[in-house]
Amino acid sequence: MANIKLPERFKNALEKNQELDGIIKTTLATFGEILEENKLFFFYEYTNHGIKHIEDVLASSDNLITDETFTNVLSVNDIGYYILSVILHDIGMHLDLEGFKCLINGDHDDILITELDSQKWSDLWLDYVNEARKFSGKQLISIFGDDDTIIRLPPFSKPGEITENDKRLIGEFIRRHHARIAHEIAIKGFPAKPNSINFANSLNLKTRSIIGLIARSHGMNLRKCLDYIENTFGRESKRFPNGIHATYLMILLRIADYIQIDSSRISKVLLKSKTFSSPISKMENYAHYSIDNVDDKWHDDPERIFVTASPEDSKMFIKLKKLFKDIQYEFDISWAVLGELYGNSEGRDKPKIKFRRITSNLETNSFIDKQSYVADSFLFKTNDEIIKLLVAPLYGDNITYGVRELLQNSIDACKEREFVEKKKGVNNYESLININIEKEEDGFTYFKIRDNGLGMDIEIIKNYFLSAGASYRKSLEWRKEFLDEKGKAKVRRSGRFGVGILSAFLIGKEIHVETKKNKGHQGYKFSANLNTELINVLKDSNVNEGTYIKIKIDKNKLKEFEKTDFEWTKWYTLSRPIIKYSLHKKVLIPYKITNPENSDPLPIEWNSIDSVGYDKILWTYSNDFANVPFTCNGILIPSKSYNFPGLYVNLMYRIPQVSVFDNNAVLPLTLDRNSISERLSFNYDLLVDVYKDFIAYLLVFNKNSSIDDDKIFLNSSKLNHPSVNDYSGVASYEFLYGINRYSNNNFNLKEFLNTILISKKGFIINYNYFIQKLKKINVALIQLNTYPEEGLILDIDDRFILFSEIKANSIPDYLSAIEPNTPWNEKTQQIDPYDSRIFIKTEKYNYLFNSKIKRASTWLKNKCKVQYEQDGFTCLHLDSPPSSIIKEEFLSKNSNNIHFIREYEITCSDEGDEILNTLLQKYIGDDIVIPFSLEERKKKYPLAFVELARYMEKYSNKKNDIGEEV
């Protein structure tokens, strides 16, 4: 029987829970046999994926856990479940051929985790094989050792014909997805024939799923794991789902799997190269990568690991440096996540890992100078012949992207010529681009684009225009002309990746090009298609300055140009250079009003922010301009996601339209330029500016209801700033009916932020900052059938009123109105009392609480205490509500118009959004009730009316996006 040695602390902890100890021992025995055998069918080169590896990871884990965390934070369950996740984390590498066939034949399809996985194993496998058929020579060598390898679909029905290359192909697939396999094994068992091998089946499914997720996390983005936990178990359970410190255990496994340290005085170490997240990764052996020793005790920084290594060549030197960098990244992200999750916890309750840093002797000049090799990275760089392969995968065979890339090149050329002309003192240059689609005498229809830009000489044509992957902006010639002494671009250029010429073949199979460099004596022209082996470039001094490209449009592509939306004309949103479009001699105008240039006087509808690295960021909520979500240097970035990748605005429903000006290619665009590849560095600056705009709107807003003595004049109950207005028309019950306390769920806060509460002194918005400043408030939610023009007579005393424009209609509506969501109170460790009073139509009450038909729960029936009936209304108490402002005469006078009333108290312990709160403190301060009178507001908040004047200007006597006056 397999014997897996556990760290002493782990063994002692498990002795306190005999049931869990038994489950673990049974699982260790069952899966220990698989690990002990350590026969990796698809990874014959690999070593140490057996028991030794598990013991190393557990020992390293034990060394990473601080004594305080082990004693005060981690439970016996945490330790037990973590041991199980360690057993799981690489177990997928032990699949044999029959087990793999179980996966791709659908045995696990019934447990597809849709929040994490979009494809079944069979589809994932086929996509992978198709990708493998397009592997480059380097990729083939890294996996198969031979760049002539032919990729085939392995003959699963004839196991005897499975070759070593078939095994390597399957092995690479398993390696990529072994983390997902671990998760699924926890849920359904180890794939095998005739039956799968159960994993810790004495534990319930939810617990096994979390154990599987912990195991899976070592091959996933950590924050994606956290998002999954939050979506599955709720935001409040994010730190402790199902009673497990899952996030801490994920962090522990990720780091321990990187660096395995024993407890001896001068530690020996096994460092594992982590390439699991790479799309194409080399098959790495687990080995001692020239590591001499690891010191985690005997230096002056107790939170640092110092590695001494002796790589014998530059390849191993670079490998180790990357490895140490990757480990440091794991430390950084791990501590960041722990801080975010447990930042408010008391010191002893914060889970910690022992180390924060890893350094090595490889960073020292003394080590580098002593080596016989140059300690740096050297590799071949080449532009592969990949034109045919790149066109469709990169652009999706969509003609509009062909137009975009060609147009972008023309715009760049015009901008560069404009810069050169101004440098020479010529200020009358007018940049112009003509794009025409027209039929010629030969009966074919052609796409033509002509610009009067900088043009190309023969060197640019040869080395950049005709060389896919070679970007002219990276050339020494371009850098000399257009970079300043600090290396910053002096001219706006959108082209980056050197793939523009490929796009021409999305439109047609053959292109004709004419070009002449500005002030050059010689022009050039040539025709080519993708199969042209040698392009014949002709000299022609009569060619006009600039560039002209003519493409015979494929017949099946012409109809795309002729679609009535003319999307191909809408890529560029600025006014310069001038672009003229025509289709069959009909002039097309994509935008009546273009977006502003960064050098133009800024229209009042637009705001401007400065951010490091960018020339300017402009944003607006106005629909009066190009009205597109995101542009870079005027060119549309057509992400299909409403929440634009890389851009977040916290509490705001709507992301504003953003126009980025980026001379230096800082914006992290994907290769196809259709999206953003990472979070944007200016996101914070944009968020602050949007929040300032919101506060300015709030302080000049004049559509709110108001109170004069006991008379209430009703108007909108919503703020309707364009950033928080809910265009879907759907609001959650928390918004409609109010809750006693606030959760810190940002989705709910978005709805609160749009809601106005009025009092005799003025109004506030239903948001944490305002509630906290008042400590608590008593609120009356009143739903009316209509808003009476003459107003309502009601003495509200010191209360706040929330008039809801949406009324309860259905049974769920009413039940949620009576019993709204009241969050768990962390301080009292119980649900807060409801302390509310309800006025509901008696007829509706009798219907809902009919004793013979169960429409309301027994709990709610017992909770609601009938106080009295009057004028067709029934008054209910839930717990101990505050005194009522609803008098008999008010009910009598307004009985036909009142739909529903709820009186309740609001308190708020959660802070809300820190950035917004900081700005509210600055501009509104502690006296948060906003007067009805604009003049009184100016006196009360003078700093806001000075610093936010420009924001306010756009909303003064203006209409918002839904046609209302602000």
Residues 146-170 have pLDDT tens digits of: 877 888 899 998 988 999 899 999 9
Q: What is the pLDDT of residue 704?
A: 81
- 455, 517 in Cβ contact below 8 A? yes
**pLDDT greater at residue 239 or residue 696:** 696
Q: What is the pLDDT of residue 861?
A: 92
pLDDT in tens, 529-559: 877 878 999 999 999 999 999 999 998 899 9
Q: How many CA atoms lie within 13 A of 71 on its CB side?
A: 5
Q: What is the pLDDT of residue 732?
A: 44
- Going 228 to 230 to 233 to 237, the CA torsion angle's sign is positive
- DSSP, collapsed to helix, strand or coil, labels residue 346 as coil
Note the helical H segments in 873-955.
Answer: 888-894, 914-923, 934-940, 942-947, 949-955
- Whether the pTM exceeds 0.75: the reply is no
Q: Cα–Cα distance between 550 and 514 in angstroms, integer?
A: 9
Residue 342 has pLDDT above 80, yes or no: yes
Residue 136 has pLDDT above 80, yes or no: no
Tokens standing for residue 344: 């408010």
Phi and psi torsions of 569, nearest 5°: -90, -5
Q: What is the pLDDT of residue 413?
A: 95
Q: What are the respective helix, strand and coil percentages of the chain, to the nearest 5?
A: 40, 15, 45
- Going 133 to 134 to 137 to 142, the CA torsion angle's sign is negative
Element holding 434 (H helix, E strand):
strand 432-439
Looking at domain 387-588, its CATH class is alpha beta
Residue 903 has pLDDT above 90, yes or no: yes
Residue 394 has pLDDT above 90, yes or no: no
Q: Cα–Cα distance between 224 and 12 in angstroms, integer?
A: 33
Q: What is the pLDDT of residue 318?
A: 85
Residue 208 has pLDDT above 90, yes or no: yes
Q: Is the peptide bond before 241 cis (omega within 30 degrees of 0)?
A: no
Sketch the domain layout of the chain as residue ranges. 8-368, 387-588, 692-955
Q: What is the pLDDT of residue 735?
A: 42
Residue 398 has pLDDT above 90, yes or no: no
Tell me the CA distances in angstroms from 618 to 208, 341, 594, 596, 848, one per residue in order.
49, 34, 13, 9, 53
| For range 223-245, the mean pLDDT | 88
Q: Cα–Cα distance between 635 and 570 in angstroms, integer?
A: 9
Residue 378 has pLDDT above 70, yes or no: no
β-pair partners for 453: none
603-606 LR contacts (CB < 8 Å, sep 24+): 604/950, 604/953, 604/954, 605/954
| For range 91-106, the mean pLDDT | 91
Q: 636: how many CB neighbours lie within 10 A of its CB? A: 20
Q: Cα–Cα distance between 199 and 31 in angstroms, integer?
A: 8
- 27, 84 in Cβ contact below 8 A? yes
> In sequence order, which residues have a C-beta less than 8 Å from that of residue 910 and are 6 or more positions away?
742, 743, 744, 768
Tokens standing for residue 477: 């010639």
